[in-house]
Amino acid sequence: MPHLPSFPHVSKSEFGGACGNLAARYAGQGGLQTDWTSVDVVQHDGDSYLKIEKDLHLEDHDTTGGRLDVEVDEDELREDDQEALIPPPFLKATIEFDIMLSPIYQVPVLYFSIRDPRCRHPPTMATLYHNIIHPQLKAQAENVGVIGGISITDHPATNSPVFFIHPCQTAAVLEASVGAKDITPIEYLMLFIGAIGSYVGLIVPLRIVQDNVRA
Amino acid sequence: MSGSRDVASRLRQTVWNGSVPLEIRLHKGDCRTYDDSDPYLIQFPRLSYLGLLLHKLHGFFASSLIYPDVSPADAWLSYEGVPLKWHYPLGLLYDLYSGVEPAYPADGSGKKDRDVEEEQKNMPWKLTVHFSDYPVEHLVKLDSEGNHLHDLYMHSVKEADYLRTGTGRTVMFLSKEDSNQLWDSVKQHSFTLYNPINQKLLNPQGVNLRHLPVKLYLPHAASDTPDKESTPGSLRVVQSLVTPSLSSRQPQTIGTALNHIIPSLFQSRRSALLAQAVLHGAVLPLSASVEDLLRATAYLDGWLHIAIVMMA
């Protein structure tokens, strides 16, 4: 497995390779989990980016427990429960995560937005803090930049407003979480999702991580 | 040398003072008297952001609104049905959408008289303000306190700094006062406040500029890869790493940069055949050095925001 010579930064080809790798892994193992509903590599202007979708669970934030810690267990419970209540697809809101390589910072950037057939969740800060950010992480997320570490900007490919996590600290965060260890592009991508995505409920399902252990 | 510095500082002043007269009318759907309200007239700086007008527009039209208690943050502007992005400077919006022919370098082609006439006919630029049906799919929604606009601006300033220095440290280590002064200078359009901070950002200590912040905006009609889902006024925004020079002898010019970034539209580095690059209402000479342009004519966030216009 090739390692990353410019860590904490990542090149276009390393990033593209990691996206393809994760999508392939989802194609193989995705059926064994229920958190992510699709993973695709999207081509735009000669670059590739990763699009991950999952259902938006609005009721999650009414509970006070640490949702992030129990995520995996919940999934395993649901996997076994053939009669789990699934909302009709036409009313279901989904959340889309786009992981794109920033040509400026040379690290991945997480963009996300809610797709809802009833348009209940426009890209506003109210939506962000009511429906996406876990209440326990709210203070932490709000504590950076002008309006917090997460704000709204135009998506680099669609030019439509979406949420994004400010990338200017990403390199430092990645560096701090890996230390001196050599990592591969796919490990880098999963590390990024773990370090940045968990704020907004994007967590690599165990089934997909495990593939890594065996490989 | 002092001669070229004079030219640069005069150019900086001219760009700073550039402005567009605006005539903003209330959309009839929001107006108590259908289309009978007075227009809001203003001569607005090209470098500045229309989002800074939020409260003035709300105040001016409050008495004509069907629902006078709407928030200033519900306001949005459009030109001929195209929602105008709050965080694009006015000059960029005008160069992209007004349809006014850009100015050409004075080469005695005899086009000048017609252009002036044409430009007068289109003045003021007639925009519509709406207070309902916010196009959330197209525009970032602002807040009454101006925090979103400030956030978008700072993000862009940081990106520009990261490109110039490779670290982004100049912005990160600006003092709180300097950082506030920068945003105040934007809000007040004050060169006295802006220039000292800008000089710090443009001349980071101990580093040469690594990359030049250049963004290209291609209207979808002019794009070589038309998007199926494109909506009126939608754009393809292209950015790529642009170095100050190609080699020790050869500075990066607009021609070499465009040829590198969008070769399909700029096959030649010396003459424009299919499209031209427009900045501050003027067609950029392809021989212009990108670094010289950046130092004298960048927008307030440190970027050269260049509109790519197809040639007729």
Q: Is residue B173 part of a domain?
A: yes
Note whether B35 and B135 are same-domain residues.
Answer: yes
Residue type, B246: L
Q: For residue B239, give the nearest of A103, A122, A159 by CB distance.
A: A103
Q: Is residue B163 part of a domain?
A: yes
Q: For residue B151, give the nearest of A123, A146, A154 by CB distance.
A: A146
Q: For residue A159, give the nearest of B152, B237, B241 by CB distance.
A: B237
Chunked into runs of 10 residues, chain B (312 residues) has average pLDDT values of 78 96 94 84 98 96 92 95 96 95 71 61 91 92 91 94 87 88 97 95 88 93 48 84 90 96 91 92 95 96 96 80
Note whether B125 and B154 are same-domain residues.
Answer: no
Note whether B25 and B135 are same-domain residues.
Answer: yes
Query: Which residues contact residue B187 at a Cβ distance below 8 angstroms, ignoring those fewer than 6 apart?
Result: B52, B146
Element (H, E) at B277: strand B275-279
Return the residue matching tokens 């952001």.
B49
Note whether B174 and B218 are same-domain residues.
Answer: no
Note whether B161 and B271 are same-domain residues.
Answer: no
Note whether B78 and B170 are same-domain residues.
Answer: no
Q: Which of B86, B92, B136 to mutate to test the interface with A (most CBs of A within 10 A)?
A: B136
* Residue B154 to residue A156, Cβ atoms within 8 A: no
Residue type, B200: K
Note whether B72 and B176 are same-domain residues.
Answer: no
Note whether B222 and B285 are same-domain residues.
Answer: yes
Residue-number span of the structural domain to which B99 is assigned: 20-139
How far does the CA of residue A70 sit from the closest CA of chain B (Å)? 34
How far does the CA of residue B150 sit from the closest CA of chain A (Å)? 7
pLDDT for the residue numbered A65: 39
Whether the Cβ atoms of residue B185 and residue B211 lie closer than 8 Å to each other:
no
For residue B181, the domain's CATH number is: 1.10.246.190
Q: What's the CA angle centered on A54, arms A156 and A52, to 5 degrees?
A: 40
Q: Does A42 touch chain B (CB under 8 A)?
A: no
Q: Is residue B9 part of a domain?
A: no
Q: Which phi and psi angles does A18 have, rounded to 5°? A: -65, -40
Q: Is residue B251 part of a domain?
A: yes
Domains assigned to chain A: 12-214 (3.30.1460.50)
Q: Which phi and psi angles does B305 have, rounded to 5°? A: -95, 105
Final residue of a structural domain among B106, B139, B172: B139
Return the residue matching tokens 């527009």.
B57
Note whether B49 and B91 are same-domain residues.
Answer: yes
Q: In terms of pLDDT, which residue wins out, B74 or A168?
A: B74
Note whether B53 and B134 are same-domain residues.
Answer: yes
Q: What is the pLDDT of residues A58-92, one digit of tens each?
A: 644 443 433 444 344 444 555 555 555 555 656 78
Q: In terms of pLDDT, which residue wins out, A69 or A150?
A: A150
Final residue of a structural domain among B139, B159, B177: B139
pLDDT for the residue numbered B27: 94
Q: Which residue of B has its CA nearest to A171?
A: B167
Residue B261 to residue B253: CA distance in whole angstroms:
12
Percent of chain A's residues with pLDDT above 70:
74
For residue B287, the domain's CATH number is: 3.10.20.90
Q: For residue A105, give the nearest of B141, B154, B162 by CB distance.
A: B162
**Cβ-based contacts of A153 with chain B (< 8 Å):** 140, 152, 155
pLDDT for the residue numbered B222: 45
How far does the CA of residue A126 sit from the closest CA of chain B (Å)? 11
How far does the CA of residue B211 sit from the closest CA of chain A (Å)? 9
Whether the Cβ atoms of residue B140 and residue B148 lie closer than 8 Å to each other:
yes
Q: For residue B141, give the nearest of A104, A124, A145 by CB distance.
A: A124
Hey, which residues does A49 pair with through a beta bridge? Answer: A42
pLDDT for the residue numbered B184: 97
What does DSSP say about strands B214-219 and B304-310: parallel, antiparallel, or unpaired? parallel
- Count: domains in chain B: 3
pLDDT for the residue numbered A72: 44
Q: Is residue B3 part of a domain?
A: no
* Residue A124 to residue B136, Cβ atoms within 8 A: yes
Structure tokens at A65: 């427990």
ipTM of the complex: 0.87
**Cβ-based contacts of B148 with chain A (< 8 Å):** 147, 151-152
Q: Does A12 touch chain B (CB under 8 A)?
A: no
By C-alpha distance, which of A94, A96, A98 is closest to A41?
A98
Q: Where are the beta strands (DSSP E) in A32-160?
A: 36-44, 47-55, 94-101, 108-115, 150-154
Q: For residue B140, give the nearest of A104, A152, A156 by CB distance.
A: A152
Q: Which of B144, B152, B180, B301 to mutate to test the interface with A (most CBs of A within 10 A)?
A: B152
How far does the CA of residue B98 sit from the closest CA of chain A (Å)? 20
Whole-number average pLDDT of chain A: 80
Q: Is residue B5 part of a domain?
A: no
Question: Residue A133: which pLDDT band, with cuts at 50, 70 and 90?
Answer: confident
By C-alpha distance, which of B298, B304, B302 is closest to B258?
B304
Final residue of a structural domain among B113, B139, B165: B139
**Cβ-based contacts of B138 with chain A (< 8 Å):** 160-161
Q: Is residue B11 part of a domain?
A: no
Note whether B25 and B116 are same-domain residues.
Answer: yes
For residue B83, the domain's CATH number is: 3.10.20.620
Q: Is residue B8 part of a domain?
A: no
Q: What is the pLDDT of residues A1-42, one digit of tens each?
A: 567 888 999 999 999 999 999 999 999 988 888 899 999 999
Note whether B38 and B108 are same-domain residues.
Answer: yes
